[in-house]
Chain A
Amino acid sequence: MRALASLLAVTALAAVAAPAALASEQHPTLAEIEPEVMCLVCKTTLDQSDSAFANQERTLIRRLIDRGYTKSQIKKKLVAEYGPEILAAPPDNGFNILAWWLPIAGILAGGVALGWLAWRWSRGRRGPPGELPSAPLEPDVEQQLDRELARFDV
């Protein structure tokens, strides 16, 4: 029942988000594109810059929006004009794909390492019930223990 509710919630969320994403792709606004592209000269995203270069880039984006370009087409045009450095996030192909997958692989590897350490730690703390330490006693300690125990013998 709980799983069904979760599934319904995810489906509802997707149903709301998908048209918005599609609208952003088909009819993007300048504000939607600005954080996703760079100002090459200032080394910041476009939304954080007001330089002459940034203003030219904004004008070009507005021009492309007016011409009916989709968001993907605009980014493609920007790459053709300024080079791949114009994209804030590296493209997910070729060598750049490492930039996407390495962090995920790192998180997974870290999770596995943490899980393994936790498992090992919990095994080390919890020995089998009733079992005595197996390390042998020092001879003089053992003799003293025998003497003490002998006092209780009847």
Chain B
Amino acid sequence: MSGRLKLTGQVVALTLVAGLLGLLIWKVVHGSGTTAQPKNFDLERIDGRGKIELASLKGKVVVLNFMASWCVPCGQEAPGIERLWQQYRSKDVVILGVDTADASEDARAFIRKHKLTYPVVRSVGYSLWGPYGLTGVPETRVIDRNGDYAKTQFHGAVSGPDLKAAIDQALRS
């Protein structure tokens, strides 16, 4: 009887360990690791004018600017990004703001305050933070015409000249 109970205990313990291991593997496979290629998304525009899917922009250089209205450096870099948008919007370049970890009302106020005309989509929660390797905001990712990450990426606030150089480089590649 005692031996049988011991065996049952061992089986239960092994099953638990196997289950936890399975969960760990699932988390690693489907989890929040940075992906080699930019993860596709299909997000609502903050101005309510439909959705934008990243995959639909293939063939163009895409600048993803992850931002939030409460973030002070986001406000500092916004005018420079807007100027680049005005300069490059007719040259196969799309600048896309991705508002994240933010209240929608405040995000709309931020866009009005900084007179942003480039499209801004809204990402609720953390689903893009892992795949894009975000550790905070602002962060900027440049994607080339093939849909791959360009050579230069930006962590933290980006200056207009630096982003311009990265866009030019991506356009040439």
Question: What residues make up the interface of A, taking CB atoms closer than 8 Å to B?
Answer: 40-41, 52-53, 55-57, 60, 80-85
Tell whether, in the assembled complex, residue A52 and residue B70 are in contact, meaning their CB atoms are under 8 Å apart.
yes
Which of B69, B101, B105 is close to A40, meaning CB atoms less than 8 Å apart?
A: B101
Tell whether, in the assembled complex, residue A53 and residue B125 are in contact, meaning their CB atoms are under 8 Å apart.
no
A112 to chain B, nearest CB (A): 12
A-B contact pairs, 29 of them (CB 8 A): A40-B101, A40-B126, A41-B101, A41-B136, A52-B70, A52-B72, A53-B68, A53-B70, A55-B70, A56-B70, A56-B102, A56-B103, A57-B103, A60-B103, A60-B105, A60-B106, A80-B124, A81-B104, A82-B101, A82-B102, A82-B103, A82-B124, A82-B125, A83-B124, A83-B125, A83-B126, A83-B127, A85-B125, A85-B126
B68 to chain A, nearest CB (A): 7
The DSSP consensus for interface residues of chain A is: helix
Q: Which residue of A lies closest to B107 (CB)?
A: A81
Which of B72, B124, B126, B136 is close to A81, meaning CB atoms less than 8 Å apart?
A: B124
Residue B11 at the chain A interface, CB threshold 8 Å: no
Tell whether, in the assembled complex, residue B101 and residue A53 are in contact, meaning their CB atoms are under 8 Å apart.
yes
For B72, list chain A residues within 8 Å (CB).
52
Contact with A along B83-119 (1 / 0, CB 8 A): 0000000000000000001111110000000000000
Residue B24 at the chain A interface, CB threshold 8 Å: no
Residue B7 at the chain A interface, CB threshold 8 Å: no
For B21, list chain A residues within 8 Å (CB).
none
For A41, list chain B residues within 8 Å (CB).
101, 136
Alpha-carbon distance A53/B136, docked complex (angstroms): 11
Question: What residues make up the interface of B, taking CB atoms closer than 8 Å to A?
Answer: 68-72, 101-106, 124-127, 136
Q: Which residue of A lies closest to B104 (CB)?
A: A81
For B103, list chain A residues within 8 Å (CB).
56-57, 60, 81-82
For A56, list chain B residues within 8 Å (CB).
69-70, 102-103, 106
4 closest A-B pairs by beta carbon, nearest first, are: A83-B125, A56-B70, A52-B70, A83-B124
Alpha-carbon distance A83/B105, docked complex (angstroms): 15
Q: Which residue of B lies closest to A109 (CB)?
A: B12
A66 to chain B, nearest CB (A): 14
A76 to chain B, nearest CB (A): 13
For A83, list chain B residues within 8 Å (CB).
124-127
Q: Which residue of B lies closest to A55 (CB)?
A: B70
Tell whether, in the assembled complex, residue B125 and residue A52 are in contact, meaning their CB atoms are under 8 Å apart.
no
For A80, list chain B residues within 8 Å (CB).
124
B103 to chain A, nearest CB (A): 5
Alpha-carbon distance A41/B136, docked complex (angstroms): 8
For A84, list chain B residues within 8 Å (CB).
125
Q: Which residue of A lies closest to B123 (CB)?
A: A83
